[in-house]
């Protein structure tokens, strides 16, 4: 049965930035499919999120993690034992005009969005390669292909383009080890990240007006794609980018 291919029983999944938003929706979907899910997040709210999943009879736990510190990432990989699925979801966005962007802000965006993705992929990918199985899903963005308007976000856009090409690079390198690496590029999704922009009328008007489906996406609509990429249902996909943007990048 093709539906059986979506099941994740007996597998362990790590979701960075899984305390809320898209990450929490992905953690929930993977746990509902039978995985033991590790929410690895800077935000201690991740503990409550894990308890909420446990209360539904799902396997979830929280570990504090700052993805920008490779030593923390390596320590978590040592602690957890075999990990089958890694979702690199932690990400930040800053809307500072390029001419006013301080060095520290540029570096922080790249530290979380690009370096964090690499530190986690390397640390968890090592065990996957040794066991000849694994699925890594990088949450990129449509901002890696287009320049959003009207808000300025050069660092974010450049960082997400890097995530997409890092995805392809690791997919090519690790295919012989049985490790698949894919990306999801969401459009505008209703989370804390987009809340402030939605309250700004000109931003809201552009965001919705430029989206053919005429609405924001829900975190669960990204999570369903992550479940597909995590599972055997996507066994012939690697190095691919699923664009989940309500059609934004068509125009
Ligand atoms: P949120 O801001 O709602 O959640 C992000 C989570 O990541 C927070 O819990 C945050 O914790 C955590 N986090 C931030 N920095 C780190 C870090 N250094 N180490 C570990 N965890 C960290 O974001 P979304 O759910 O909206 O976004 C999730 C992903 O999806 C991001 O990569 C984002 O770029 C991407 N995306 C989102 C879109 C959208 O429209 N929402 C569109 C396209 C892509 P804390 O609060 O403590 O910082």
Question: How remote is the CA of residue 16 from the centroid of ligand 1, in Å?
Answer: 9
Residue 57 has which token pair? 């009879």
The pLDDT, as a whole number, for residue 209 is 97
The pLDDT, as a whole number, for residue 113 is 99
The pLDDT, as a whole number, for residue 216 is 97
The pLDDT, as a whole number, for residue 88 is 99
CA distance 158 to 146: 10
Q: Which residue has the tokens 């690496």?
A: 181
The pLDDT, as a whole number, for residue 53 is 98
The pLDDT, as a whole number, for residue 34 is 98
Mean pLDDT of the chain: 98
Quick one: 177 exposed, middle or buried, by C-beta within 10 A (0-12, 13-18, 19+)? middle
Mean pLDDT of 241-249: 98
Mean pLDDT of 204-222: 98
Question: How remote is the CA of residue 65 from the centroid of ligand 1, in Å?
Answer: 13
- Ligand 1 in contact with 189 (CB < 6 A)? yes
**Considering the domain 2-244, what is its CATH architecture?**
3-Layer(aba) Sandwich (3.40)
The pLDDT, as a whole number, for residue 130 is 98
Atom of ligand 1 nearest to the CA of 216: 40
- Ligand 1 in contact with 181 (CB < 6 A)? no
Atom of ligand 1 nearest to the CA of 22: 25
- Ligand 1 in contact with 31 (CB < 6 A)? no
Question: How remote is the CA of residue 222 from the centroid of ligand 1, in Å?
Answer: 13
Atom of ligand 1 nearest to the CA of 143: 43
Mean pLDDT of 94-119: 98
Per-residue pLDDT tens for 47-70?
999 999 999 999 999 999 999 999
CB 29 within 8 A of CB 4: no
């Amino acid at each position: 049965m093709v539906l059986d291919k979506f099941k994740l029983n007996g597998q362990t999944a790590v979701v960075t930035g899984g305390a809320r938003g898209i990450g929490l929706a992905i953690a929930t979907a993977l746990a509902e499919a039978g995985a033991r899910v590790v929410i690895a997040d800077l935000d201690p709210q991740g503990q409550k999120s894990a308890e909420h999943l446990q209360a539904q009879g799902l396997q979830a736990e929280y570990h504090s993690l700052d993805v920008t510190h490779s030593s923390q990432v390596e320590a978590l990989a040592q602690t957890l034992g075999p990990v089958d699925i890694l979702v690199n979801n932690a990400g930040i966005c800053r809307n500072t005009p390029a001419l006013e962007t301080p060095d520290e802000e540029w570096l922080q965006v790249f530290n979380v969005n690009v370096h964090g993705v690499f530190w986690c992929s390397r640390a968890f990918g090592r065990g996957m390669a040794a066991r000849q199985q694994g699925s890594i899903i990088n949450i990129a963005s449509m901002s890696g292909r287009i320049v959003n308007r009207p808000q300025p976000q050069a660092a974010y856009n450049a960082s997400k383009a890097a995530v997409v090409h890092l995805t392809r690079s690791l997919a090519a390198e690790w295919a012989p080890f049985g490790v698949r690496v894919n990306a999801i590029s969401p459009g505008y999704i209703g989370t804390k990240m987009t809340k402030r922009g939605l309250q700004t009328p000109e931003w809201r008007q552009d965001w919705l007006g430029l989206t053919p489906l005429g609405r924001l996406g829900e975190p669960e609509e990204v999570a369903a794609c992550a479940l597909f990429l995590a599972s055997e249902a996507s066994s012939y996909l690697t190095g691919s980018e699923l664009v989940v943007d309500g059609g934004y990048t068509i125009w």
